[in-house]
Amino acid sequence: MKKILDVRNKPCPEPVLETKKALQTGNFSELEIITDSDVSKENISRFLSSMGINFEVSQIGNEYHFYIKGSQNITEKPNNEYKIKESFIISKNYLGEGDKTLGEILIKSFFHTLNELDELPQTLFFVNSGVYLTVASSPVLEDVKNLECKGVEILSCGTCLDYYHLKEKLAVGKIGNMYRLLELLKKGGILI
């Protein structure tokens, strides 16, 4: 049975995430993926290549059509195989420098994509305005909760929660301290 996956007009990283989900189901004799974005074409190509999936791609007008023959599944790892040693220190409630509105869009994409990876960090430690991402009004609360369910340790700086008057609104994880933060940095924690 041929399956068609239409990811036209979908923002990054949705085309790759939907491709991954379609491959995981594996109920097809041929999978055709349609996108109308050069960026999505490159991202899907990289993803398929990295997974060892054989595919062909052709351009029809302003669209790209990927063709995958046979049921080439990607199997998920059990929860206890997800963790890797790295830890991320999230220092603000947006990602990158420059336009803050763009940074807020990027942080949502970061956490959504992080949830889809096979390898997850051991710990996420939220500091400064990053603690806004662990409270009830967080735009990424469900993604952070999902990461915690997969075994990722979620910590928020107690001093930061107090400073922003958010301690009572903490909705995921536990309160961390400077000693634990320095421990993570000493072990190679990545500051975001």
**Residue 29 or residue 100, greater confidence:** 100
At 20, list the tokens. 């991954």
User: pLDDT tens digits for 40-88?
Assistant: 888 888 788 777 888 999 999 999 999 998 755 554 444 444 455 689 9
Q: Give the sign of the dihedral formed by CA 131, CA 136, CA 138, CA 142.
A: positive
In what helix (H) or strand (E) does residue 125 lie, and over which residues does it extend?
Answer: strand 123-126
Give the residue-averaged pLDDT of 17-25: 84
Burial class (CB in 10 A: 0-12, 13-18, 19+), 2: exposed
The residue assigned the tokens 């305005």 is: 129
Share of the chain above pLDDT 70, in %: 92
pLDDT of residue 76: 46
pLDDT of residue 81: 45
pLDDT of residue 166: 96
Domains observed in the chain: 2-69 (3.30.110.40), 79-191 (3.40.1260.10)
pLDDT of residue 82: 45
CA distances from 83 to 7, 89, 179 (A): 30, 16, 22
Q: Is the pLDDT of residue 13 over 90?
A: no
**Residue 183 or residue 118, greater confidence:** 183
At 155, list the tokens. 């910590």
Is residue 75 helix, strand or coil?
coil
Rounded CA separation 166/182 (Å) = 22
Q: Is the pLDDT of residue 23 over 90?
A: no
User: pLDDT tens digits for 83-134?
Assistant: 556 899 999 999 999 999 999 999 999 999 998 887 889 899 999 999 999 9
Q: How far apart are the first and last CA of the chain?
A: 44
